[in-house]
Amino acid sequence: MSESVAISPGASREVIYKEIAPQIAALVHGETDVIANLANVAAVLKEAFGFFWVGFYLAKGGELVLGPFQGPLACTRIKFTEGVCGKAFSDKKTIIVPDVDAFPGHIACSSASRSEIVVPILGSCGKAIGVLDVDSDRLDDFDEVDRRGLQEIVTMIERVMPSHTNLATTQ
Min dist. Cβ of residue 169 to ligand SME (A): 19
Min dist. Cβ of residue 85 to ligand SME (A): 3
Min dist. Cβ of residue 50 to ligand SME (A): 16
Min dist. Cβ of residue 116 to ligand SME (A): 6
Q: Which is nearer to ligand SME, 49 or 53 (CB)?
A: 53
Q: Which is nearer to ligand SME, 71 or 123 (CB)?
A: 71
Q: Which is nearer to ligand SME, 63 or 116 (CB)?
A: 116
Q: Which is nearer to ligand SME, 7 or 66 (CB)?
A: 66
What distance in Å separates the CA atoms of residue 147 and residue 17, rounded to the nearest whole number? 11
Q: Which is nearer to ligand SME, 7 or 97 (CB)?
A: 97
Those residues whose C-beta lies under 8 Å from the C-beta of residue 12, and which sit 6 or more positions away, are none
Residues that bind ligand SME (CB under 6 A): 53, 74-75, 78, 83-85, 106-107, 109, 113, 116, 133, 135
Min dist. Cβ of residue 5 to ligand SME (A): 22
